[in-house]
């Protein structure tokens, strides 16, 4: 375990972009919120003293989620690139020879890189995105109308989103394990052009199956794993509105249609409501 922790720290030492990239994005977003235009008014989104609580919660939840969604997109791209490059870079600069001279097993080295790609990087982005979201909410609530601040500062919605992001990090790490394994396999074996090798074999299998057998089994498997499968299982709703946006729009997640995420959202909402209704 001690060796594994040192290997994870080594990845942070050698790949400063893990924390530097989200920090730069956060800086740009904060600067943009300070000097950019804020085009939000009561005539565009009706949130104010006369609006209902669910309406304010909906606006606040959607805004907080939108702030963090930018980090999620960048994190997904960087995590995929890290897994694809981590072992290839060690072989390319011959640093793998130095690490092989140490009393470390190959399994520990590979496991440390897998943990960094699937858990450590998302957690770093989550922490920076969280701080950035609070800073943006504070700046925008000062620059815009007072009702905007009322919509953004919803502690219970904020708490629910934190629990939801942690749920996403853990479940996505499990769901994407086969993809991460393939990317690391390419990283460990390809001599050059790792990006091409990462998608050409699956593409070749898909086209070969389609031309030879006229079926789409491989295509459906890839589509389910990479595009629609996780969302359908984690966020499929039951009636009316569904998914993340529908759950944010409803009152405290009481009728949230989250599939697997339903219990996470409802539990955090119940805790928030219990705290709010607790007698002084």
Q: What is the pLDDT of residue 67?
A: 77
Q: What is the pLDDT of residue 39?
A: 52
Phi–psi pair at 102, nearest 5 degrees = -90, 160
Phi–psi pair at 250, nearest 5 degrees = -90, 165
Interval 132-149: pLDDT, tens:
888 887 887 776 655 555
Question: What predicted TM-score, i.e. pTM, was given to this entire model?
Answer: 0.74
Neighbour tally for 191: CB within 10 Å: 9
Task: Supply the angle between the helices 106-115 and 2-14 in degrees, to the nearest 10.
Answer: 60
- CA atoms within 13 A of residue 196's CA, in its CB half-sphere: 4
Q: What is the pLDDT of residue 262?
A: 47
With a CB cutoff of 8 Å and minimum separation 6, the contacts of 144 are: 38, 40
Interval 95-129: pLDDT, tens:
666 666 667 787 888 899 999 999 999 999 999 99
CA 11 to chain CA mean position, Å: 20
* pLDDT beneath 70: ranges in the chain: 1, 36-61, 63, 95-102, 143-153, 236-280
């Amino acid at each position: 375990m001690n060796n594994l922790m040192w290997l994870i720290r080594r990845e942070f030492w050698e790949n400063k972009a893990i924390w530097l990239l989200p920090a730069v994005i956060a800086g740009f977003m904060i600067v943009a919120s300070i000097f950019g235009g804020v085009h939000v008014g009561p005539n565009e989104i009706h949130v104010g003293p006369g609006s209902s609580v669910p309406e304010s919660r909906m606006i606040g939840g959607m805004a907080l989620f939108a702030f963090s969604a930018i980090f999620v997109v960048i994190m997904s791209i960087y995590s995929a690139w890290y897994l694809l490059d981590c072992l290839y870079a060690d072989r390319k600069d011959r640093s793998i020879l130095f690490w092989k001279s140490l009393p470390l097993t190959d399994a520990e080295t590979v496991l440390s890189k897998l943990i960094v790609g699937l858990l450590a990087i998302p957690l770093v982005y989550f922490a920076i995105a969280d701080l950035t979201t609070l800073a943006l909410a504070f700046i925008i609530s000062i620059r815009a109308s007072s009702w905007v601040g009322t919509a953004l500062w919803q502690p219970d919605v904020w708490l629910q989103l934190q629990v939801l992001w942690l749920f996403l990090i853990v479940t996505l790490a499990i769901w994407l394990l086969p993809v991460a394994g393939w990317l690391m396999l390419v990283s460990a074996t390809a001599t050059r052009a790792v990006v091409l090798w990462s998608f050409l074999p699956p593409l070749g299998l898909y086209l070969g199956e389609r031309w030879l057998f006229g079926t789409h089994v491989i295509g459906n498997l890839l589509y389910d794993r990479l595009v629609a499968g996780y969302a359908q299982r984690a966020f499929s709703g039951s009636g009316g509105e569904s998914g993340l946006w529908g759950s944010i729009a409803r009152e405290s997640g009481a009728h949230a249609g989250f599939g697997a995420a339903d219990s996470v959202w409802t539990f955090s909402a119940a805790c928030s409501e219990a705290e709010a209704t607790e007698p002084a």
